[in-house]
Structure 1
C-alpha cells in the first residue's frame, strides 16, 4: 500500500539520514555522495563560514605552524645538500649527475616496492602504461633541474645564479595560474615580494663581504644554465603538487625515483665518466656522499606534505631562507662569518610568510582549485583538504543525527 505523501517524505528523510550516518563510519566517499543529496545536512567545505574580515583566521590553525615548520625543515635540508657538495668539491670530488644518482636510487628502493605491494605488480604495470609518460616528463624536469644548477656554479658567480633562481618562483606562479587555475590574492603577491626583498638583502650582504665567488668563467653560459635549472625546478614543483594531491605519495615518489634513476644514470655515464675517474675517493668522501644522499632523500620525502598542505609557491619562498641557514651551518663547518644584515633579511623573509597567508580561510592553500569545490577529484590522504572536509562533515552529520 502506498503511503500518504507526508508520511512517505518523512520516511524518505529518515532513511536518508540513517544511510548517511552508516556511510560516515564505513564508506567516507559514499557518505560524501549521500550527504550531497541531503537537504538538512549538505556537504560543505570546512571553511565556508569564514569571511574576508577574518584576516588572521589561518594563523590560529595548527596547519599554518606546521607548514611554517616544514618549510624551514626543507630549507635546512636543501642547504645541507649544498654544504655536502661544497665539502666534496674541497676534497676534489665533483660528480654532479652521479652524486644525485644515489638519492634517486635510495628512493626507488623504498617507494617502488611499496607501490608494488599496495597495487600489485599488474597494478604497477598499469600505472606505467597509463601514466608512465607523465612521470617520465616529471622525472626529466627534476633531474635536469639538479644537473644544470651545478653546471651554472661552474661558469658564473653565485650572485648571478641566485638572482636567476628567482625565475623559479615566477615559473611556479605563472604555471599554477595558467595551467592549474590558481588565483593569487593581493596579500599573497605582497608576501612573495617581501620575501624576495629579504633575499635581495642576503645577496647584497654577500656582495659587500665578497662571498659571491670569483670572477665568472663564462657568465653567459653560466647564466643560461641557471635559467634552465630554475625553469626545470619550477615545472617540477608544480607537476609534483598536482600529482600528490591526486595520487598516493608512495606512487608519485616511486614513479619519480624509478624513472629519475634511469635518466640520471644514463646522464652520469655520459657526462661524469672523466670526473668519476679523476675524483678523490676516501672515507671522508664516502661520508659526505652518505650525508648528501640522506638529506636529499629526506627532502624528497617531506616535500609532498607541504605541497598538499600549502603549495609549490609557498615551498619556493620557504627556500629563500636557505642562504641564512647556509651561513649558520657554514660558521661551524666552513668557518664563515655572519654579516649583520643576515638576521634582518631572515626576519623580512619570515614576515613575508605571514603576509602571504593574511586573510586566508582555515583550509589555506590545502584546497586545490583543480580538484573541485569539495575536492572530490582529489585523494583523501594525510594533509589533504578532502580528508579534512570529510572528517568535518562526518562530525557534523553525527551531531545532527544525535
Structure 2
C-alpha cells in the first residue's frame, strides 16, 4: 500500500472544506423567501397564534373575575373546561366500536390516562397557585422552563432529532421573552405577591415540568392513536380529579360567589376558550410538535398585554412590539426545518458507528462482482455443490439457489 504525503492529505482536506463552504454560500444565495414562507408554514403560524389568542381569552376573563368581582376559583374554571370535554369527546368514544370504544381503551390503558389527567390538572392548578407567592416577572421567566423540558422528553421518549437551527430558534424566542419581561419592568407591571418567592418559583417550575409531560404525552397520543381518544380520556379523568379537588380546596370560595349574569358570562367565556384550546391544540401538535406549540404560546402573554392596554389601562412600551416580532421570527425559523425521528434498528443490534456506509456498499459490490465472475468461469456440469461465500454475511450460498437480489 502506497504511503500518502501528509501535505497532499492536508491540501485535499482544505479543498473539501472550501467546496463545502462554496456549496453553503450557493444555497444561501439561491434561497428564496417563497421556499421559507410556504403555505403550510403560514397555516401553522396562523393556527398557533389562534391558540395564543385563546390563552389570552382565558387570561382576560380570569383577570376580570379576580379584579372586578373578587372571584378566586381556578379549580372551578378548570372543572368547567374538563366537563365540556367529557360531554363531547368522552361521549363520542361511547359510540365507537372496536378498539376505539371507551371500554376497550379503559381496559387496556386506563391507568396511563389517569396519570396523564392528574398531571394536566395539577399543572393548571400549580401555576395559578404560584401567583399567591411570587411575582409576574418570575412566572413569565420561569414558565419558559417548559421548552427545554419538552425538548429533552421528546428526544428521550419520542426519539426526536433536533438540528442546530432548532436550538438557535429557541434561543431567539427566549430573547423575545426577555424583551417582554424588560418591558414589564419598565412599565411597572411587576405584579403579584412576594410572600414566599422561593415557594412560588418552585411551583412555577413544577407546573412547567408537568405541562411538558402532558404535552409530550399529547404529541405521542395524537400521532400514534387518535385526537378524540386523547381528549375523551383527558375529559373523563380531568373531570373526576378536578371535581374531587374542587370539593376539597374551593368549596368555601364557591359559596362566597355573588352570582349574576356578568359573572356567569365570564365563566362561560373562560370555559369556551379553554375548551376550544384543548380541542384545537392536538391538531397543531400533530402538524408540528409539542416544542413548536410551546414556542408559539410565548406570544399569549403579549396578546394579554395588548388587551390590557385598552381594558386595564396598562402602560405601553415599544419593547412589546419588539418582543412579539422576535418570538415570531424564532417560531418561524423553528418550523422552516422539520424535526425528524431517530430510525429504529429492526435487527435489535447496535450499529457499529466506526463503519463507513460507503465502505460497506463497496464491499458488497466487490463480493457480488467476484461471485458473478466465479459463476461465469464454471459450467453447469461442474457439480451442483459449488458454493460462494458472502463475506458480508459470513455464510455459504449454494450455486443453484443463490439469489441475485441485494
Q: TM-score category by the smaller chain?
A: 0.7 to 0.9
Residue 68 of structure 1: SS of its match in structure 2? Answer: helix
Residue 155 of structure 1: SS of its match in structure 2? Answer: coil
Gap change, CA 1:268 and 1:135, over 3 Å in 2: same
Please tell me whether residue 63 in structure 1 is matched to residue 40 in structure 2: yes
Of the three residues 157, 165, 173, the one matched with 2:151 is 173
Map Cα deviations across residues 60-91 of structure 1 (whole Å, 9 max, x no partner): 53221111111111111111101111111021
Of the three residues 134, 146, 151, the one matched with 2:129 is 151
Whether contact under 8 Å (2:49, 2:297) holds in the other structure is yes
Counterpart CA distance in 2 for 1:372 and 1:324 is: 44
Q: Where does residue 54 of structure 2 map in the other structure?
A: 77
Q: Where does residue 231 of structure 1 map in the other structure?
A: 209
Please tell me whether residue 266 in structure 1 is matched to residue 264 in structure 2: no
1:241 Cα offset (Å): 0.5
**TM score, norm. by length of structure 1:** 0.75
Map Cα deviations across residues 228-267 of structure 1 (whole Å, 9 max, x no partner): 1111111101100000001121111011101100011011
Gap change, CA 1:192 and 1:73, over 3 Å in 2: same
Q: Where does residue 282 of structure 1 map in the other structure?
A: 260
Of the three residues 308, 323, 342, the one matched with 2:301 is 323
Gap change, CA 1:126 and 1:84, over 3 Å in 2: same
**1:100-249 pair list within 5 angstroms:** 100-119=78-97, 123-249=101-227
Q: Where does residue 349 of structure 1 map in the other structure?
A: 327
Residue 154 of structure 1: SS of its match in structure 2? Answer: coil
Map Cα deviations across residues 246-305 of structure 1 (whole Å, 9 max, x no partner): 112111101110110001101111111122122332221111100000000000011001
Counterpart CA distance in 2 for 1:211 and 1:339 is: 11
1:126 Cα offset (Å): 1.1
Structure possessing the higher radius of gyration over alpha carbons: 2
Q: Which one scores higher on RCO, CA 8 angstroms, separation ≥ 6? A: 1
Q: Which runs of 5+ in 1 are unaligned?
A: 1-51, 374-402
Whether contact under 8 Å (1:58, 1:64) holds in the other structure is no
Aligned residues: 317
**TM score, norm. by length of structure 2:** 0.74
Give the RMSD, CA atoms, in angstroms: 2.2
Q: Which runs of 5+ in 2 are unaligned?
A: 1-26, 347-406
Residue 98 of structure 1: SS of its match in structure 2? Answer: helix
Map Cα deviations across residues 131-188 of structure 1 (whole Å, 9 max, x no partner): 1111111111111110001000111101111111111111101101111111110001
Whether contact under 8 Å (1:180, 1:370) holds in the other structure is no
Q: Where does residue 337 of structure 1 map in the other structure?
A: 315
Counterpart CA distance in 1 for 2:256 and 2:154 is: 43
Counterpart CA distance in 2 for 1:292 and 1:327 is: 17
Whether contact under 8 Å (2:187, 2:316) holds in the other structure is no
Counterpart CA distance in 2 for 1:94 and 1:189 is: 38
Counterpart CA distance in 1 for 2:221 and 2:153 is: 14
